[in-house]
Amino acid sequence: MSVRTRIQSTLEEELKPERLEVIDESHQHAGHQPSMTGDGETHMRVRVVSGRFLGLTRLQRHRLVNDLLKPELDAGLHALAVEPSAPGEPTRW
């Protein structure tokens, strides 16, 4: 199973998102951190809208996502960009 698929599955299960995009941006960083995860998936962007973020600060939202994805980060995911929003909040995507 790919890193992208594992991230998507984890966030769907834990956050029950209204919207979720997991974007592999590794190709934009070719040669930067080659194959740290063993499959070349080193840089991911997560865009997520979830009710779990209601009442949380931006920092708390980032920490929640980072905590959920700690196994991927520990396994070699080099970069994780997080764009978290609560339902009804404006998004840039």
Predicted TM-score (pTM) of the model is 0.85
Sign (positive/negative) of CA torsion 69, 48, 61, 43?
Answer: positive
Confidence check: pLDDT of 18 > 50: yes
Q: Report the pLDDT value the prediction gives residue 26, as an integer from 0 to 100.
A: 84
- Which domains are delineated in the chain? 3-85 (3.30.300.90)
User: Model confidence over 20-43: pLDDT tens digits?
Assistant: 999 999 866 555 545 444 457 889
Q: CB–CB of 43/24 below 8 Å?
A: yes
